[in-house]
Structure 1
Amino acid sequence: MTRRTFDPGQCPVGRTLERVGDTWSLMILRDAFHGLSRFDQFEQSLGVAPNILSKRLAALVEAGFLERRPYQARPVRHEYVLTALGRDFVPVLTALMAFGNRHFAVEGLASQMVEVASGLPADPVVVDRRTGLEIDAARFTVAAGPAAQAPTRERMALVEARRRARLDAV
């Protein structure tokens, strides 16, 4: 992946995007979630140049999203399977798919999540595991965490001030 001079600091979004923040990496993870595991499968599915695919697969292995396993001895060939970290990323891919279907599928849905038992379409949302509430801007806000350093605390204080100003204006 191309490294930029961007420093994500403590930002969890920036840190994640440093590892998977390009189209090819996200599409490789999507295909791995769909069961593809071999270089030629990814290459055929994505139509990506082999050198780019090699770099992205290596970066995803290095970042811990994929594990590289030999499946053939002569010549040695490897498959790429989701690790626990990669499987933990599946809800992010699901949220991206739901967002894309909701806002950009002008021709209709090409793919969607369905419940296996019933076959009924799912309506993926992000919920708080503790309360079961759907996470939205009305009920939830971002706040500094216990390990936040001064720049993060300052940025979060501005976020909170803006939120309060919006509430006061209503």
Structure 2
Amino acid sequence: MALPRTYESQNCSIARSLEVVGDRWTMLVIRSAFEGVRRFDDFQDVLGVARNVLTDRLGRLCAEGIMRRVPYQERPERFEYRLTRKGVELWPAMMTLLMWGDRHYAPEGPPVIVGHRGCEGTLTRRLTCTSCGADLEPTDVEPRPGPGA
């Protein structure tokens, strides 16, 4: 029996969340937004995704309130895509998924280390700094090349 394409009949927050972010391109768009990518062409360059797929994913993320379109040019009209508060709240889930992938699918070591900006420490599973113990948020961290880079 094939799995249904939607989970509307399931009373489950995981299933409902997957309806919104459970697609690989959607997650990679969100990852890129956390890395500072803002413009359509930059998302396309970084991800190598087809324009129609990217248009669809950005539209869905905006419709769900995870990202918002912000004009940056009037003629021609152009927009940046920025994470909303709802989108930023995905950061712990993204970091947990990253660390899980590092443990199980990075035999050469993590390709990226999430470092505490201005500190020598790195992100722990509890989203704190290994060096100073601070609770870390997305603006507190920066990507650093890891051994698997």
TM-score (norm 1): 0.69
Provide the residue aligned with 2:62 in structure 1: 61
Q: Considering fraction of residues, name the structure with more strand.
A: 2
Query: 1:8–1:14: 8 Å Cα contact kept in structure 2?
Result: no
Query: 1:8–1:15: 8 Å Cα contact kept in structure 2?
Result: no
Provide the residue aligned with 1:84 in structure 2: 85
Distance in 1 between residues matched to 2:40 and 2:83, nearest whole Å: 14
**Residue 8 (structure 1) shift:** 5.1
Is 1:43 aligned to residue 44 of structure 2? yes
Matches within 5 A, 1:125-140: 125=126
TM-score (norm 2): 0.78
**Residues 59-96 of structure 1, C-alpha deviations (whole Å, 9 max, x = no match):** 00011110011111011111100000000111110111
Unaligned runs of 5+ in 1: 128-170
**Residues 129-157 of structure 1, C-alpha deviations (whole Å, 9 max, x = no match):** xxxxxxxxxxxxxxxxxxxxxxxxxxxxx
Provide the residue aligned with 1:160 in structure 2: none
Structure 2 counterpart of 1:7, which letter? E
Instruction: State the Cα RMSD in Å.
Output: 1.8
Matches within 5 A, 1:135-154: none
Structure 1 counterpart of 2:75, which letter? R
Distance in 1 between residues matched to 2:6 and 2:31, nearest whole Å: 27
Equivalent position SS for 2:114:
coil
Provide the residue aligned with 1:73 in structure 2: 74
Q: Considering fraction of residues, name the structure with more helix.
A: 1
Larger Rg belongs to: 1
**Residues 3-32 of structure 1, C-alpha deviations (whole Å, 9 max, x = no match):** 924325321101111001000000000000
Provide the residue aligned with 1:149 in structure 2: none
Unaligned runs of 5+ in 2: 129-149
